[in-house]
Every structure is written in C-alpha cells, then in structure tokens.
Amino acid sequence: MTQHNRTPDHTEHVDLLVIGWGKGGKTLAATAARKGLRVAMVERDSGRVGGTCINVACVPTKILVHEAETRRAGDDPGASFANAVERRDTLTGAMRKKNFSVLSELDSVLLVSGTAAFVGEREVAVTGGEDLLRITADKGLINTGTEPSVPPISGAVVGGRIHNSETIQHIDPVPSSLVVVGGGYVGLEFASIFAHFETKVTVLDRGQRALKHEDADVAETAVNILVDRGVELISGASVTEISEDDLSARVAYEVSGNEHSIEADAVLLALGRTPVTSDLELARAGIDTDDRGYVVVNDRLQTSAEGVFALGDVNGGPQFTYVSLDDNRVVADQLFGEGERSTSDRVATPYVMFLTPPLARVGLNEADARGQGYQVAVAAKQVADIAAAPRAKIDGDPRGLVKVVVDAKTDLVLGAALMHVHAEEVINLVAMAIRHGITATELRDSIYTHPSMTEALNEVLGAL
C-alpha cells in the first residue's frame, strides 16, 4: 500500500496492540487495560465491534434458529422471518454497543477505526479515510478472524440472489426455494432454519454422505430429521456453475459424471471460511502464514515474530468463540502469568450444530475410537425410546438420540453424540466428565434433576 510510505499524521506507542475486535482480543485488551497497560484496539469495520460471534455468527443465527423453532404453523412465514430478523438486529446492536462501552470506558484504551497493515516488527500503519496513524507496540495480538469463502465456481459471486452465511441473514423476502451449496455445519444449520420458514431447501453436498465426521447412525438420525422437515440432500454433488436472472437463480452440478441443474429463488454458498489476513502485510513483520493464509502459531499462540500472538479463528484452530476465549487465557498466561498454559492443555472440546433439535458432540466417535485400538463399549438409544427422561416429550420434540462411547477396559468416557432438546447444555457435562476422568458408571449413577435431558444418561448408560 503506497499510502503507508507517506509521513503519518500521528504516532502512538502502546504496551499492547490488538488488531481485530474478536472474543479473545477484546477480552485480553480489557484485562491488560485494567492492569494499567496502554492498549490500542484497531477495528476496520464498525459492524464487527465485539467480534464475528455476536454480529454475524453464533448469536444472530441462533436467534433465527429460535424464532424458526417457535414459529406457529399458521403464522405467515414471510412476516415471521421479518420479525426474526428485526429481533436479531436489535440484540446484535445492543451487544455491539455494550462491547464498545466495555473498552471505551477504560482510560488506557485507545480505540482506532481503520485498516491496519504491518510496516515492521510490532509496528502498523492504520488508514482510515485520508488519515494515517502509526502505532508501535511492545506486544501485538492478531485477532482478525475469518470471513465466508468464495469458492472457485463460475458465477459464485455474492450479490443479488446469491448469498453467503452473512448476507442471507437479511434476505428479503424469505425465499420460497433455496439451494445450499455445501453440506457442512453452516449449510445444514441454515437449511434447517429456512425449512422451518416453509422454504423448499435443497442441499448440494460434495461428500459421499452427509456429516461424514459423525458416526453413520448419528448422521442418519440427523439427516432423517432434516428430510422429515422437507430438506432434500444430494450427496456427491459437484457444483460447476451458478447463474441468475430476474426470476431465479440456477445451479448446475454433476453427480457421478451426470449433469443436473436446479432453479431456486436464492443460493447460499456455505463452503467454509477464509482467514482475514490478506491486507495485514504480515511478511513485513516476519509473521509466517500457511498455504491457506492462516497465521502460523505454536502451542503458546506465539507467531514467528517476537512478541506477536494470534488469537481466534485467524490462527487456524477450531473456529469457536469459546476457543477464542481460551486463546485469551493462553496468551494472558504468557503476558501476565507463569507462561505454562498452552493449547495442548485442551481436552474434550465440545461443539454443537444447531439443527432442530441440536446435535452436540465431544471426544471420539465410535469409528475413531475403534480405529485407535480401544476396546469399545457403546450405549445408544433413540430419545423417543428413553422412558426415564420425559423432558423432550414435554418440550414437544422427542426426536434424536443419545450415544456414549466408553473404554470397556477403564470405564472412562471416550466421547458422546447427543441430538435432542438442550443437547447444547448436556454436552458440557459429558465434556467435563472426560476431562476429569469421571467414569461411565459414575455418570450412570449420578443424581440429576427431573425432568431434564441430563437424566437420560441414567437410562442410556444403564444398558452398558
């Protein structure tokens, strides 16, 4: 950027420079400021204050999930979706304001609106309009996150009838038909959301079966629930071209060498995310990236540049906001603690795909456990068949399953897949059991509140 070669309008030196207002960075910025350090927070997009999670990912999409699930059958789908979007925008706006105030109220924090690019070690030039600010720092944090990938497919350009996971949250009107390109977690979550708003959804998945990282019985349960909702899943589909006109969008694809096409009101591109690093000029600071653009870090989240760390999605780790929060703990220990905490300390990190009902997983699945040589015992039961846990029936959705994988020799829990109402909560209990060596027998014989989904563990594990 030639603009960086001109004399800066102003230069600031800080103890800690944070680029990107994500979960890990904002948390560490506040911690450092409260310890009396001078902190600069640089964010290029006012709509990203607080991070991706609260603005375009976890929080707003789960509002849409909730509104989709609670929509009554007779409600107009268009009006219901518009109300859902309004509530989404209201909450994200309030959270953005709160996140801004958390840092703006700290006297030692300098908030900078603009695009940062490195010009040297721990030194950046920040451009905002015609202004140029030079910032030098003792320590630096890269926390710029990721953005939806644009696949190398002819016509795959976001705009008009073609959307990514961010733009589709404001689609207007709600489409009567939708083609989702990509059968991963993001694609299937949106497929479930729009199916609940009476959209005819078709998912084109490159894999030979949906949810290839899940056990076949778990994937089958999830797929059957989606199909019952009206979603069509086409596996082994390679999309070759996307086009649109005033009336519809058209997607051409191949399955087993045979050409097909489908028309719909809209198309969602859901083929992963890309790190936001292209404008950072990382090479000028001696910061290495991998072949996908992610910042390379060690298990202390240190980059190849002295005193510079990378937190959150941009470092190529699991793309969850709670992992970014733990990244903050790792780096905080390097800056203010004993320097012993690392990412290798993480055990049994759970994740959830917010279908209806949600699918939550932690640890090893059955196939991986057997592949690693464990003598495996499996406890599995469809939720509808669990007599001693009526919570799902009370909530009106007895679909899904509970599956727990156990080491038969030690009785330790190796992993679990839970698909049922409140699975996003129960999975945390199982994850803690794995981390702390609580046996399957202890989980089976524990006292749980009634009626709750946790008590399903009493009955399911009783079958071992």
Tell me, yes or no, whether 174 lies in a domain.
Answer: yes
Residues 205 and 194 in one domain: yes
Residues 144 and 21 in one domain: yes
Residue count of the chain, please give it: 464
Residues 74 and 221 in one domain: no
Tell me, yes or no, whether 82 lies in a domain.
Answer: yes
Residues 117 and 35 in one domain: yes
Tell me, yes or no, whether 287 lies in a domain.
Answer: yes
Residues 317 and 171 in one domain: no
Which of the listed residues 345, 367, 385 is the one where a domain comes to its end?
A: 345
Sign of CA dihedral 386, 392, 397, 401: negative
Residue 2: burial class (beta carbons within 10 Å; 0-12, 13-18, 19+):
exposed
What is the edge-to-edge ordering of all strands in the sheet holding 359-363?
351-353, 359-363, 413-419, 401-407, 376-382
**pLDDT at res. 1:** 34
Tell me, yes or no, whether 154 lies in a domain.
Answer: no
Radius of gyration over every alpha carbon of the chain, rounded to an integer in angstroms = 24
Could you give the CA distance from residue 105 to residue 100 in angstroms, rounded to a whole number? 9
CATH number at 382 reads 3.30.390.30
Residues 303 and 282 in one domain: yes
Residues 187 and 58 in one domain: no
H, E, C per residue of the chain: CHHHHCCCCEEEEEEEEEECCCHHHHHHHHHHHHCCCCEEEEECCHHHCCCHHHHCCHHHHHHHHHHHHHCCCCCCHHHHHHHHHHHHHHHHHHHHHHHHHHHHCCCCEEEEECEEEEEECCEEEEEECCEEEEEEEEEEEECCCEEECCCCCECCCCECCEECCCHHHHCCCCCCEEEEECCCHHHHHHHHHHHHCCCEEEEEECCCCCCCCCCHHHHHHHHHHHHHCCCEEEECEEEEEEEECCCCEEEEEEECCEEEEEEECEEEECCCEEECCCCCCHHHHCCCECCCCCECCCCCCECCCCCEEECHHHHCCCCCHHHHHHHHHHHHHHHHCCCCCCHHHCCCCCEEECCCCCEEEEECCHHHHHHCCCCEEEEEEEHHHCCCCCHHHHCCCCCCEEEEEEECCCCEEEEEEEECCCHHHHHHHHHHHHHCCCEHHHHHCCCCCCCCCCCHHHHHHCCC
Which of the listed residues 271, 304, 334 is the one where a domain comes to its end?
A: 271
Tell me, yes or no, whether 295 lies in a domain.
Answer: yes
Residues 312 and 329 in one domain: yes
CATH number at 252 reads 3.50.50.60
- Count up the domains in the chain and report the number: 3
Q: In the annotation, is 450 catalytic? A: yes
Residues 124 and 247 in one domain: no
**pLDDT at res. 2:** 35
Tell me, yes or no, whether 266 lies in a domain.
Answer: yes
Which of the listed residues 271, 287, 312 is the one where a domain comes to its end?
A: 271
Tell me, yes or no, whether 38 lies in a domain.
Answer: yes
Residues 205 and 112 in one domain: no
Question: Containing domain of residue 54, as a range?
Answer: 2-148+274-345
Residues 355 and 323 in one domain: no
**pLDDT at res. 8:** 72
**Which of 10, 213, 260, 450 is labelled catalytic?**
450
**pLDDT at res. 6:** 60
Tell me, yes or no, whether 156 lies in a domain.
Answer: no
Q: At a CB cut-off of 8 Å and minimum separation 6, what does 303 contact?
A: 142, 287, 288, 295, 296, 297, 309, 310
**pLDDT at res. 413:** 98
Please check whether residue 141 is in contact with residue 16, taking contact to mean a CB–CB distance below 8 angstroms.
Answer: yes
Low-confidence ranges of the chain (pLDDT < 70): 1-7
What is the edge-to-edge ordering of all strands in the sheet holding 266-269?
162-163, 266-269, 177-181, 200-205, 232-235
Residues 227 and 374 in one domain: no
CA distance to 29, 302, 305, 343, 389, per residue, from 297 (Å): 20, 5, 10, 10, 45
**pLDDT at res. 158:** 98
